[in-house]
Amino acid sequence: MCYYVTGHMTGHIVSIIEFSGKRMPKSRITIRDVAARAGVSHQTVSRVINASERVSPDTRLRVEQAIRDLGYAPNAIARYMAKGSTRTFACIAPNLTDFTFASIIDGAEMKARQNGYFLMSASASDVDIFKNLIVQLVDSRRTEGLMVINPYIDDRHLHLPPQVPIVFLGACAHSGRFNSVFLDEEEGGRLAVQHLLDLNHKRIAHITGPRREDCTLNRKAGYLSALLQAEVEPDPDLIVEGDWSATSGYRAVKQLINQGQRFTGLFAQNDRMAVGAIKALRESGLSVPEDVAVVGFDDMPLASYFDPSLTTIRQDMLSLGKAAALLLLNAVKDPDSPGVQQKMPVELVIRSSTAPNRQEEENPD
């Protein structure tokens, strides 16, 4: 039951309703109010709410009662101002909508909260925004630790502040000053290509991410390493650079086909490009996996619902986020602890884009 008056189709402000049931008078119940009511000093109240040592069971009860009576809740700002700690971490990502980023943030937020920390997340599409965020978040001491997702997509890693512990996500830190949590990208590439080799493919095309990103290089290293090990000569003409978008995967395949390249296997560095590639292959009259077997990377949501369902490399982004939060928590506890580089495992998920008629093992959603 909605009280708004209509105005549909055009969208936008529809109606304004009764008075806003005026909010409470900025409830300013402080530790002193509680103290007064309990007939103790404000300090005793402080001791009680800090679950601290020596308070007589009797007064503790009285104070607790007063707290309940007054509906008192400690002011976190004042508290952390006195302590000099905000119990807040921040996470900066290129955007918040990419599901891998979102999963990382979700995981990190959970783990942080379990430990009494909050997480502010912000998106920085370019370096200027990033620099600005650093000032707002770190220089002004709003946060005690920083998570940076994809620090190497541009020069942002050159603008990191010295005051707080930092953890990189999705890339191994090039300097020991920082912590990092990242996937075993190379192993992922290797698993993907090994799988294609096992299916007897020799000419395996490769669509990479943007050249400058670490992750691109590492996945490609895995690709090369698998070929090498199988004694298959890599063909540079089969490697095309994309930009992670489905469209770029589509274009990459069109390009390969226009160039007359022959290949029966294809490894795309993410699922979106793989999906775009499959579309282009079909448009060219090639069927997947019969003519070309395709492997992606990410195991994105609904990867098993594409046609054909996607063989891909699976990772646990939630764990990545949790691990990052944990590193930050440790670094806050022990500021002189060394940077830790933590590599997370990946896993091959075989579906129909490489294995026709294979019984799907599950349909994650």
What is the Cα–Cα distance from 360 to 310, expressed in whole angstroms? 10
Task: Work out how close the CB of 32 gets to DNA at its nearest, in angstroms, rounded to a whole number.
Answer: 6
23 touches DNA (CB under 7 A): no
Kind of pairing between the strands at 312-314 and 347-349 = antiparallel
Q: Please list the alpha-helical segments (H only) found in 179-308.
A: 185-198, 214-229, 246-258, 271-283
Binds DNA (CB under 7 A): choice among 14, 17, 50, 132 = 50
Unique residue bearing structure tokens 């300097």? 175
Binds a copy of itself (CB under 8 A): choice among 32, 41, 69, 96 = 96
DSSP string, 115-171: TT-EEEEEE-SSHHHHHHHHIIIIITT--SEEEEESTTSSGGGGG--SSS-EEEESS
Closest to a copy of itself by CB, 119 or 201 = 119
What is the Cα–Cα distance from 219 to 120, expressed in whole angstroms? 30
Binds DNA (CB under 7 A): choice among 4, 14, 32, 334 = 32
The answer to whether 171 touches 116, Cβ cutoff 8 Å, is no
Residue 54 interaction partner, one of DNA, a copy of itself, none, beta carbon < 5-8 Å per kind: DNA
Binds DNA (CB under 7 A): choice among 11, 21, 25, 84 = 84
Closest to DNA by CB, 81 or 135 = 81
Task: Work out how close the CB of 160 gets to DNA at its nearest, in angstroms, rounded to a whole number.
Answer: 22
Residue 31 interaction partner, one of DNA, a copy of itself, none, beta carbon < 5-8 Å per kind: DNA
Lay out the site mask for a copy of itself across 262-281 (x = CB under 8 A, - = otherwise).
----------x--xx--x--
The answer to whether 142 touches 88, Cβ cutoff 8 Å, is yes
125 touches DNA (CB under 7 A): no
338 touches a copy of itself (CB under 8 A): yes
87 touches DNA (CB under 7 A): no
96 touches DNA (CB under 7 A): no
186 touches a copy of itself (CB under 8 A): yes
6 touches DNA (CB under 7 A): no
| Number of other residues whose CB lies within 10 A of the CB of residue 290 | 10
Q: How far is CA 248 from the centre of its chain?
A: 22
Long-range Cβ contacts of 156-159 (<8 Å, 24+ apart)? 156/124, 156/127, 156/130, 156/131, 159/127, 159/130, 159/131, 159/134
Task: Work out how close the CB of 4 gets to a copy of itself at its nearest, in angstroms, rounded to a whole number.
Answer: 4
The residues in 7-36 that bind a copy of itself, with binding defined as CB under 8 A, are: 7-24, 26-27
What is the Cα–Cα distance from 143 to 82, expressed in whole angstroms? 15
Binds a copy of itself (CB under 8 A): choice among 43, 50, 68, 73 = 73
What DSSP state is assigned to residue 81?
H
The residues in 213-252 that bind a copy of itself, with binding defined as CB under 8 A, are: 245-247, 250
The residues in 136-175 that bind a copy of itself, with binding defined as CB under 8 A, are: 136-137, 139-142, 162-165, 172-175
115 touches DNA (CB under 7 A): no
CA distances, 15 to each of 11, 19, 20 (Å): 11, 12, 13
Task: Work out how close the CB of 29 gets to DNA at its nearest, in angstroms, rounded to a whole number.
Answer: 8
Say which residues have a Cβ less than 8 Å from residue 307's Cβ, sequence separation at least 6: none
The answer to whether 289 touches 309, Cβ cutoff 8 Å, is no
Closest to DNA by CB, 30 or 261 = 30
47 touches DNA (CB under 7 A): yes
Residue 51 interaction partner, one of a copy of itself, DNA, none, beta carbon < 5-8 Å per kind: none
What is the Cα–Cα distance from 56 to 47, expressed in whole angstroms? 11
40 touches DNA (CB under 7 A): yes
Q: Which residues bind DNA (CB under 7 A)?
A: 28, 30-32, 39-44, 46-47, 49-50, 53-56, 58-60, 74-75, 78-79, 81-84
